[in-house]
């Protein structure tokens, strides 16, 4: 496990535009720009008042589909040909700067092996993003994604999670094979209300684009929620003076993270 909180945001983790979806046939939103209100708040640097710092991402799927490899390719830019099963859970914290605001993704890698499932499922709670991964070369793993998603959703409030369906190991298939499998996967994605992506941890194809999309959508969703909350908890006096009626929500999130880290 690594805590990368103290290092500066790398230059290549800056997001100024909404990254594009993989395919319009199954995406969470078509817009190619950030929400106008979110953008305006970020430009005025009011976002600091909202205590927005971190979104929790949980990656689930069968064993050996390549969950750890995908996370490692993005977070450390490495690929290991040898298989080392994840024992329970692991996580990485990846720092971004989105629309000029610091934003972290806490990416949880869970074990696909049945014997570790009860440990891993304890960490599904509080997810803003659920990534269900399958191996593009193994159709059975695709069929299992619905079950993985159900299990992860059970631990979260209804309609609070963005869902992604990701086909891994794209490099192991020919273009024609990949297209055939993607056609089936897209049907699954639509049924699961998920955004679909095909990636390869080995070559790195689409890995950065995918995680940037996850980060941008999670950021926008969190900002919108915080804006809604702040409307309820602030009273406007005179010409634009804002009074905060509740404690800083950021403090609670910090405490939650600390609690998660301690558990881990």
Ligand X SMILES: Nc1nc2c(ncn2[C@@H]2O[C@H](COP(=O)(O)OP(=O)(O)OP(=O)(O)O)[C@@H](O)[C@H]2O)c(=O)[nH]1
Please give the residue ranges that form the binding site for ligand X (CB under 6 A).
Answer: 63-69, 80-83, 85-86, 111-113, 168-169, 171-172, 200-202
Q: Identify the three-state secondary structure at position 163.
A: strand
| Closer residue to ligand X in complex, CB, 111/215 | 111
Q: Which is nearer to ligand X, 84 or 231 (CB)?
A: 84
CB–CB of 94/14 below 8 Å?
no
Does the CA dihedral 58-76-100-7 come out positive or negative? positive
DSSP-derived pairing of the beta strands 129-135 and 241-244: unpaired
Q: Compare residues 62 and 220 and give the one whose CB is closer to ligand X.
A: 62
> Between 168 and 221, whose beta carbon lies closer to ligand X?
168
Give the burial class of 260: count Cβ atoms within 10 A of its Cβ; 0-12 exposed, 13-18 middle, 19 or more buried: middle
Please, which residue, 82 or 159, has the CB nearer to ligand X? 82
What minimum distance in Å lies between the beta carbon of 146 and ligand X? Answer: 17
Q: What is the CA radius of gyration of the chain?
A: 19
| CB 197 to ligand X: min, Å | 13
Closest approach of ligand X to the CB of residue 89, in Å: 10
What is the closest distance, in whole angstroms, from the C-beta atom of residue 144 to ligand X in the complex? 12
Q: Smallest distance, Å, CB 259 to ligand X?
A: 25
Q: Three-class SS of residue 60? A: strand
The SS3 assignment for 29 reads coil
């Amino acid at each position: 496990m690594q805590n990368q909180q103290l290092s500066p945001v790398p230059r290549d983790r800056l997001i100024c535009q909404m990254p594009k979806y993989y395919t319009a046939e199954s995406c969470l939103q078509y817009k190619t720009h950030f929400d106008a209100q979110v953008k305006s708040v970020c430009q005025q640097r009011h976002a600091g008042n909202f205590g927005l710092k971190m979104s929790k991402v949980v990656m689930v799927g069968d064993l050996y589909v390549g969950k750890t490899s995908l996370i490692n390719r993005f977070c450390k830019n490495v690929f290991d040909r040898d298989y080392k099963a994840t024992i329970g859970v692991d996580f990485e914290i990846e720092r971004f700067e989105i629309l000029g605001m610091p934003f972290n993704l806490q990416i949880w890698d869970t074990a696909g092996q049945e014997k570790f499932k009860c440990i891993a499922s304890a960490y599904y709670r509080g997810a803003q993003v659920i990534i269900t991964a399958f191996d593009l070369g193994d159709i059975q793993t695709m069929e299992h994604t619905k079950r993985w998603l159900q299990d992860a959703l059970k631990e979260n409030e209804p309609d609070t999670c963005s869902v992604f369906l990701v086909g891994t190991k794209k490099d192991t298939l020919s273009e024609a094979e990949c297209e055939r499998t993607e056609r089936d996967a897209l049907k699954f994605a639509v049924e699961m209300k998920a955004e679909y992506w095909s990636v390869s941890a080995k070559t790195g194809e689409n890995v950065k684009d995918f995680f940037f999309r996850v980060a941008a959508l999670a950021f926008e969703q969190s900002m919108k929620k915080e804006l809604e909350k702040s409307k309820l908890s602030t009273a406007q006096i005179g010409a634009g003076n804002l009074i905060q009626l509740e404690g800083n929500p950021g403090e609670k999130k910090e405490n939650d993270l600390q609690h998660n880290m301690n558990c881990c």
